[in-house]
Structure 1
Amino acid sequence: MDYTYLGKSGLKVSRICLGTMNFGPVTDEKESFRIMDAALDAGVNFFDTANVYGGLGGGGKSGDTEELIGRWFKQGSGRREKVVLATKVYGKMNIEPDGPNNEGGLSAHKIRRHLEGSLQRLQTDHIDLYQMHHIDTAVSWDELWGAFEVAINQGKISYVGSSNFAGWHIAVAQKEAQKRNFLGLISEQHKYSLLCREPELEVLPASHELGLGVIPWSPLGGGLLGRNALKKLEGSRSEKIAEQVDKHKEQLEQFASLCNDLGEPQDVVALAWVLANPAVTAPIIGPRTSEQFENSLRILDVKLDEAALKRLDEIFPGPGGAAPKAYAW
């Protein structure tokens, strides 16, 4: 396994991040435990979750995934100590009564309460990376950084990250943190794939310049860049993908042909392409099975040459580089 520093911090994480959104609602506990054990055995030390996971469809409730991970930690054998644990705060928790302070947001009141809930569910005394799941422009940075400073001083979190921020949000956040002599953000978790290259305009350059490691989510384009996308496999998940497959069919067929020439499956090439970007720390893989997890490890051995990268740009054109050069003289 390869490791790198997460942004400007001294925290070392694996170049693959294990996403856990499927754990509980899609992948049962036994298989989830098996995947997490396999991840540790492979040297993957970076696990990502969120307080709302478990309640995002599938008939579960918010917090189910954190509780599952907590039970896995409870088995001992150094599991918690070996993991760089990341979770998130922002969304509405369907385990709490409806009310104005249980809507999406990042008030200091909500951060304090939801952090305590995550710690309890995860059966740990600290979160290594506590991430804002979305921007909340109704809350000032004085309030936000004040809340996170308290949590750090209490030893309940080690670092702060963001998710789904615009480039200018990241710039403002870091400027306001600097005013307080505070480390600020060390990571941005963002949607990024061959099918979603808009972050190359602002988010990736801003993150790279300001010391944030980028953690791409949905690096397989919601499954469209997977090895089975063109087969339109039966089932509720694949039926949802089918419409998008039709929309991008020509691109996906060209992509499949290129991958065949390279001798690698589509998912491996797509993930290797994301990992090749110097702004990227670790793409999030969200396996539903142990087999899918094992297949993902292959990306560390695949190095795409200039010809392959050029062909991928032709199949999936990006915005043309960073702003403003991408669109202005």
Structure 2
Amino acid sequence: MEQLSISGVGVSALCLGTMYFGTTVDEERAFAVLDRFVEAGGTFIDTANTYSFWVDGGTGVESEELLGRWLTSRGIRDELVLATKVGALPDPPGAAWPEHAEGLSREVVRAQLTASMRRLGTDHLDVYYAHIEDRRTPLHDTVATFGELVTDGLVRATGLSNHAAWRVAAAREIARARGVPGFTAVQQRHTYLRPRPGAEFGANPHISDEMLDYARTESDVTVLGYSVLLSGAYTRADRPLPEQYDHEDSRRRLEVLAEVAAELGATPNQVVLAWLLGGDPPVLPILGVSSVSQLDECLGALDLVLDDEQRKRLDA
């Protein structure tokens, strides 16, 4: 699998998301998906200290703990790039979210980093994200805290998820001014369909045109997209479009998506992934799959090439 880079950390062109591993995806299925991903050359695995607290019986530790057990059993930690996140866990447990998210204070970030590494069975993280915005903590403090983690050798690269473009730009400017390691990964909701004007996503917004434009001008920023396949809505009749995407523009785009997929002998999901990977800027997809067959379909996108005419039609 093609390798990309985040602050000099080599990562595979597809990232495996593990949001529901250990909750709705049981251990046997999760291990099978993880094994197949590595077999296919995948090296980049994404989790969080919140996955999945909202599932019945979930607390947020399940995904990291399952990954820790898998890593121990396979003995391949050094071959992989592990990413996790901090800042979004409800505090106290069960409190209204996101109003009572744990936030990004130095104390929380440091304590949760230690807890995540313990669950994952590692002495460092490759990528560590601020999961959602925390306007209660001064941005200068957040930048300083994450910079310290890199300087201390606990984290190799840092990122921001679900942050406005201006906050990303401001945080990176603060880091430059202070001469400390800055955020180089941006993880946002993104897909081929565009949300209707004014659509609300709460604390997990769809990527903005401003963010994409900013990434085009910053050569050291890597953009990653989550919810890229809309939980199966592109291909499954039993999965309706999320209401934020259910509007006339989507119907036109879905028609073109189906045309291009037929021309290429591919699935709409594969075309979406190829469209993201070959975009300007390129977007590294985080795959939310729950079976080996779903993963294999996604892997097929790596061999898919959209020509200029097809991309132009999709974009238009």
Please say if residues 9 and 126 of structure 2, whose CA atoms lie closer than 8 Å, have aligned partners that are also in contact.
no
| 5+ long unaligned stretches in structure 1 | 315-329
1:145 pairs, out of 143, 146, 151, with 143
1:185 pairs, out of 183, 186, 192, with 183
Aligned positions, number: 302
Task: Give the 3 Å change call, closer, same or farther, for CA 277–37 of structure 1 in structure 2.
Answer: same
Alignment of 1:52-201 (within 5 A): 52-77=50-75, 79-93=76-90, 96=93, 103-196=101-194, 199=207, 201=209
Secondary structure of the 2:184 match is strand
* Whole-angstrom distance in 1 between the partners of 2:141 and 2:280: 33
Please say if residues 21 and 66 of structure 2, whose CA atoms lie closer than 8 Å, have aligned partners that are also in contact.
yes
Please say if residues 194 and 245 of structure 2, whose CA atoms lie closer than 8 Å, have aligned partners that are also in contact.
no
Match of 2:20 in 1: 22
Match of 1:277 in 2: 279
AA aligned to 2:226 is W
1:297 pairs, out of 299, 302, 310, with 299
Q: Is 2:215 the partner of 1:213?
A: no
Q: CA deviation at 1:196?
A: 3.0
Out of 289-298 and 241-250, give the one that drifted further: 241-250
Deviations 1:250-297 (A, max 9, x none): 643443243223311110001100111142252111111011111111
Secondary structure of the 2:127 match is strand
* Whole-angstrom distance in 1 between the partners of 2:145 and 2:254: 45
Q: CA deviation at 1:95?
A: 8.0
| 5+ long unaligned stretches in structure 2 | 196-205
AA aligned to 1:10 is G
* Whole-angstrom distance in 1 between the partners of 2:94 and 2:268: 44
Secondary structure of the 2:263 match is helix
Task: Give the 3 Å change call, closer, same or farther, for CA 96–120 of structure 1 in structure 2.
Answer: farther
AA aligned to 2:213 is P
Task: Give the 3 Å change call, closer, same or farther, for CA 246–209 of structure 1 in structure 2.
Answer: closer
Taking structure 2 as the reference length, what is the TM-score of the superposition? 0.87
Task: Give the 3 Å change call, closer, same or farther, for CA 168–242 of structure 1 in structure 2.
Answer: closer
Please say if residues 127 and 156 of structure 2, whose CA atoms lie closer than 8 Å, have aligned partners that are also in contact.
yes
